[in-house]
């Protein structure tokens, strides 16, 4: 069994990736061509020899290649969705590496300044730090790549350059910050003005890059597989940076106003906490970025998975007509009647689709290829009281005869192309039959799930590319009696409602199946079970869950390191206040109040980012490829999950504040009050 599994994994690895899938399609095409030739003794003769009997060459029908291509599109879109989660983890990880590098530089800043005083150059100090940590970066890269190889099937190898780029960026953070800390600087106001100008330039560049990335992605979509398109991974990070830039500029002014109001009240806690939070807002850009990216990715993942799950339920209802089972493409009525008599079947509703050209009786203008849908409104209303199509058909009258004896069918008209005008009469290609538009067909009736099985093969929505008419089944049956015998009869489907089990339905119509003259039977319970076992949705859900957990862990690490960076100053302030009579609870409250504005700003920014990303990404996020419905699914946000993720972010910040409070409480008050030392 183990050898068989290894062989299966090796074969699967051969056809992984874009090149592997192209090779699989070529192999299937070659097999399709060779399958018929292997049964024929001669290839140049139109007749084949089966044994000693001549016969016509077999007809080939390839249903595998379309399935592979459809899965290829579905998996590419799933990889695009997963790449957003991976990009968030990479961004949070790089921010964590940058914050950790800042702490490392702070801890050895005295040593580096001493080396500079003894004649070492700033690039030399930075290069020495790079050389010290190069083995660590190399070992981390090797360990991560080896872990990825072990997690993938045998024979599959992840690309090296993304991991090398991330490891290189994390490694270069330490020497870059070391050089910035020990290089020669210009003193005085010119330095402050230059720093402010550089900050404005950087913020403007981030906003422009985010806008340009969103515009480019909406205009051109993804290049090839979305997972291999760098722009797909860069745009969410740029949008997160843009949100952080706006937050850094937006929330300090309200904090200063609140600090002024707090100054009028007794007690220094509110004034000190709000003033310090407003002053330290620019320095907290990395912590804010980590929190916004973590929450934004989690909310985006919940929004996408919720939308896909809801869209798949709608697509399943569309495929089965909203019924418990549906029979389509039946050339013989035997299976239809047997299913009507199956145990548990309470209602059976027949829907039809025929196509005809229309010519206006008043103007002579024509419209080609109009779809005429027909349903028994009374039966559908009994089976599904909420059906919009049943309510629409109920208002139509019975067919009438005009002065020339022609049958006139009352219909409702709709569709995006070639609208038929209300009140007009149209000639059809059916002899002796006209249609009169009695009213407009609403979107809800046109998209009623009862008509889904009729459009399952084409994959389009009713009225998407041609005029659409809706009539009652009895009216269309009357037209059948007027039509010539050679007129095409269109397609039909029978919807079955009730409590019948899949086993009972299969037993009642054992001959049904794809290509069978008895038709193809789809059972909603079986389709739901297949959707639950779908690996693509499970991969999306699992990837987002794992990435959210990793991002949360990195965010907690980043917050703790950021608190360690500002710990000496906060410990000194707390020590002064303790000497003035502030208790331990007051000191803890001061730390929590100082972090509260950051947490609330991160929660607002993360929610805005996660909810706005699907609209910003545009065509790059084509969830219809994952749902399979006739139209793109409407966004479905889980309010409970979103609220839980927001509370989780606030709890994360609270946990970091609690850990910092414990650490600060253990520090000695006299040590914090020492002057002239770098801590």
Taking 60 as the threshold, does the pLDDT of residue 230 lie above it? yes
What mean pLDDT do residues 596-601 have?
A: 83
What backbone torsions phi and psi does residue 628 show, to the nearest 5 degrees? Answer: 80, 10
Taking 60 as the threshold, does the pLDDT of residue 418 lie above it? no
What angle (nearest 5°) sits at the alpha carbon of residue 158, between those of residues 154 and 160?
140
Taking 50 as the threshold, does the pLDDT of residue 486 lie above it? no
Q: Give Dmax (Cα) for the chain.
A: 112
Q: What is the pLDDT of residue 643?
A: 84
pLDDT averaged over every residue in the chain: 78
Q: What is the pLDDT of residue 155?
A: 58
What mean pLDDT do residues 470-487 have?
A: 73
Helix (H) or strand (E) holding 541: helix 535-565
DSSP 176-213: HHHHHHHS----SHHHHHHHHHHHHHHHHHHHHHHHHH
Taking 80 as the threshold, does the pLDDT of residue 47 lie above it? no
179-229 residue pLDDT tens: 888 887 665 555 555 567 777 888 888 889 888 888 887 776 665 555 556
362-391 residue pLDDT tens: 777 766 778 888 888 888 888 888 888 888
What mean pLDDT do residues 70-85 have?
A: 79
CA 80 to the chain's CA centroid: 8
Q: How far is CA 448 from CA 82, 352, 392, 459, 483, in A?
A: 32, 13, 11, 15, 28
What mean pLDDT do residues 605-621 have?
A: 84
Per-residue confidence at 11, pLDDT binned at 50, 70, 90? low
Q: What is the pLDDT of residue 363?
A: 74
The C-alpha atoms of residue 55 and residue 36 are separated, in whole angstroms, by: 12
Taking 60 as the threshold, does the pLDDT of residue 297 lie above it? yes
Q: Select, from the ranges 50-64, 523-537, 578-592, the one with the highest average predicted confidence (pLDDT).
A: 523-537
Q: What is the pLDDT of residue 679?
A: 45
302-349 residue pLDDT tens: 888 888 888 888 888 888 888 899 988 887 788 888 888 888 888 889
The C-alpha atoms of residue 75 and residue 538 are separated, in whole angstroms, by: 12
Q: Provide the 3-class DSSP secondary structure of residue 435.
A: strand
Q: Select, from the ranges 114-123, 238-247, 615-624, 647-656, the one with the highest average predicted confidence (pLDDT).
A: 238-247
Q: Please tell me the pTM assigned to this model.
A: 0.79
What angle (nearest 5°) sits at the alpha carbon of residue 327, between those of residues 321 and 332?
150
Q: What is the pLDDT of residue 62?
A: 63
The C-alpha atoms of residue 175 and residue 123 are separated, in whole angstroms, by: 9
Residue percentage of the chain with pLDDT more than 90: 1
Per-residue confidence at 557, pLDDT binned at 50, 70, 90? confident
Q: What is the pLDDT of residue 414?
A: 80
For residues 436 and 410, the answer to whether their CB atoms sit within 8 Å is yes
Per-residue confidence at 601, pLDDT binned at 50, 70, 90? confident
Residue/partner pairs of 384-390 with CB below 8 Å, 24 or more apart: 384/322, 384/323, 384/450, 384/497, 387/322, 387/448, 387/450, 388/442, 388/444, 388/445, 388/447, 388/448, 389/445, 389/448, 389/450, 389/451, 389/470
Taking 60 as the threshold, does the pLDDT of residue 666 lie above it? no
Sign of CA dihedral 150, 155, 161, 164: positive
For residues 109 and 677, the answer to whether their CB atoms sit within 8 Å is no
Q: What is the pLDDT of residue 149?
A: 77
What backbone torsions phi and psi does residue 496 show, to the nearest 5 degrees? Answer: -115, 130
The C-alpha atoms of residue 74 and residue 243 are separated, in whole angstroms, by: 31
Residue percentage of the chain with pLDDT more than 70: 76
> By 3-state DSSP, what share of the chain in percent is helix, strand and coil, each rounded to 5?
65, 10, 25
């Amino acid at each position: 069994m183990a050898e068989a599994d290894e062989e299966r994994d090796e074969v699967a690895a051969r056809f992984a990736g874009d090149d592997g899938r192209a090779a699989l399609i070529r192999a299937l095409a070659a097999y399709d061509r060779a399958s018929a030739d292997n049964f024929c003794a001669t290839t140049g003769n139109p007749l084949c020899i089966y044994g000693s009997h001549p016969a016509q060459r077999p007809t080939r029908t390839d249903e595998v290649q379309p399935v592979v291509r459809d899965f290829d599109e579905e998996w590419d879109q799933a990889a695009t969705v997963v790449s957003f989660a991976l990009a968030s983890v990479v961004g949070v990880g790089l921010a964590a590496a940058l914050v950790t590098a800042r702490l490392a530089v702070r801890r050895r800043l005295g040593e580096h300044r001493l080396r500079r005083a003894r004649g070492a150059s700033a690039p030399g100090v930075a290069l020495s730090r790079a050389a010290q940590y190069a083995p660590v970066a190399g070992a981390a890269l090797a360990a991560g790549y080896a872990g990825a190889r072990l997690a993938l099937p045998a024979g599959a190898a992840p690309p090296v350059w993304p991991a090398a780029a991330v490891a290189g960026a994390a490694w270069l953070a330490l020497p870059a910050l070391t050089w910035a800390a020990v290089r020669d600087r210009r003193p005085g106001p010119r330095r402050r003005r230059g720093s402010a100008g550089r900050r404005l330039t950087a913020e403007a560049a981030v906003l422009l890059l985010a806008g340009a990335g969103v515009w480019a992605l909406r205009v051109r979509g993804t290049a090839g597989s979305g997972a291999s398109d760098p722009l797909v991974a860069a745009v969410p990070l740029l949008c997160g940076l843009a949100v952080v830039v706006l937050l850094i500029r937006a929330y300090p002014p309200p904090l200063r106003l609140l600090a002024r109001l707090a100054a009028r009240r007794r007690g220094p806690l509110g004034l000190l906490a709000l003033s310090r939070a407003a002053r330290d807002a620019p320095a907290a850009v990395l912590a804010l970025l980590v929190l916004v990216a973590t929450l934004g990715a989690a909310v985006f993942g919940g929004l996408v998975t919720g939308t896909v799950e809801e869209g798949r339920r709608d697509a399943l209802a569309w495929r089965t007509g909203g019924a418990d089972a549906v029979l389509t493409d039946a050339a013989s009525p035997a299976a239809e009647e047997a299913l009507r008599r199956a145990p548990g079947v309470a209602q059976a509703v027949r829907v039809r689709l025929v196509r005809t050209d229309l010519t206006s009786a008043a103007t002579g203008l024509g419209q080609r290829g109009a779809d005429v849908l027909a349903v028994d409104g009374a039966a559908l209303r009994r089976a599904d009281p909420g059906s919009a199509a049943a309510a629409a058909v109920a208002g139509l009258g019975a067919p009438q005869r005009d002065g020339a004896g022609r049958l006139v069918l009352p219909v409702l008209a709709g569709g995006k192309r070639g609208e038929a005008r209300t009140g007009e009469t149209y000639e059809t290609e059916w002899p002796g039959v006209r249609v009169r538009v009695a009213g407009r067909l609403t979107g809800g009736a046109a998209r009623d799930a009862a008509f889904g099985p009729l459009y399952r093969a084409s994959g389009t929505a009713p009225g998407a590319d041609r005029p659409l008419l809706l009539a009652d089944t009895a009216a269309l049956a009357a037209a059948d009696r007027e039509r010539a015998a050679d007129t095409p009869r269109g397609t039909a489907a029978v919807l079955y409602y009730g409590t019948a089990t899949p086993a009972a339905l299969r037993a009642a119509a054992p001959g049904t199946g794809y290509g069978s003259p008895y038709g193809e039977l789809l059972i909603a319970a079986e389709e739901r079970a297949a959707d639950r076992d779908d690996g693509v949705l499970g991969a999306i859900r699992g990837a987002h869950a794992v990435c959210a957990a990793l991002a949360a862990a990195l965010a907690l690490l980043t917050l703790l390191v950021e608190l360690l960076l500002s710990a000496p100053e906060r410990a000194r302030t707390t020590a002064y206040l303790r000497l003035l009579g502030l208790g331990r609870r007051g000191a803890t409250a001061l730390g929590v109040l100082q972090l509260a504005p950051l947490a609330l700003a991160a929660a607002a920014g993360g929610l805005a980012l996660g909810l706005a990303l699907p609209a910003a990404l545009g065509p790059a996020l084509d969830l219809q490829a994952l749902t399979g419905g006739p139209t793109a699914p409407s966004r479905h946000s889980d309010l409970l999950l979103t609220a839980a993720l927001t509370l989780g972010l606030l709890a994360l910040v609270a946990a970091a504040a609690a850990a910092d409070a414990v650490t600060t409480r253990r520090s000695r008050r006299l040590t914090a009050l020492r002057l002239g030392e770098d801590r």
